[in-house]
Amino acid sequence: QVQLQQSGAELAKPGSSVKISCKASGYTFTSYYMSWIKQTTGQGLEYIGFINTESGGANYNEKFKGKATLTVDKSSSTAFMQLSSLTPDDSAVYYCARGINYWGQGVMVTVSS
């Protein structure tokens, strides 16, 4: 069955970066784009962007350009999202999603000094 297993919670300092992962199983990884979503109590759900898992080409929501970088490792069927220059506003739960019907379990990122 399709599974998206995300990496564990992150505690990061302001100004630093984090890289979270999303390991896919149960399907052909390169046949589906991978999307990423941010969830906060204040802003709700926000779409970060998606990556073409075959070509590695990514498309970003304007708001997250320069903040998020999406990559993939086809050999391990894993998608990654790096968040840079972290601020407390980046504290959130981040989900990967294959289409609309398969979501990872989410990764909580906390940015605090």
**Which residues contact another protein (rule: CB under 8 A)?**
35, 37, 44-47, 49-50, 59, 61, 95, 100-101, 103-106
Which residue number, 31 or 100, has a Cβ lying nearer to another protein?
A: 100
Phi, psi of 101 (to 5 degrees): -110, -5
Which residue number, 27 or 47, has a Cβ lying nearer to another protein?
A: 47
CB of 75 to another protein, least distance (A): 26
CB of 100 to another protein, least distance (A): 5
Residue 38 has a CB neighbour count (10 Å cut-off) of 23
Cβ-contact 51, 70 below 8 angstroms: yes
Instruction: Say which residue the tokens 């990654």 belong to.
Output: 80
Which residue number, 40 or 85, has a Cβ lying nearer to another protein?
A: 40
CB of 54 to another protein, least distance (A): 17
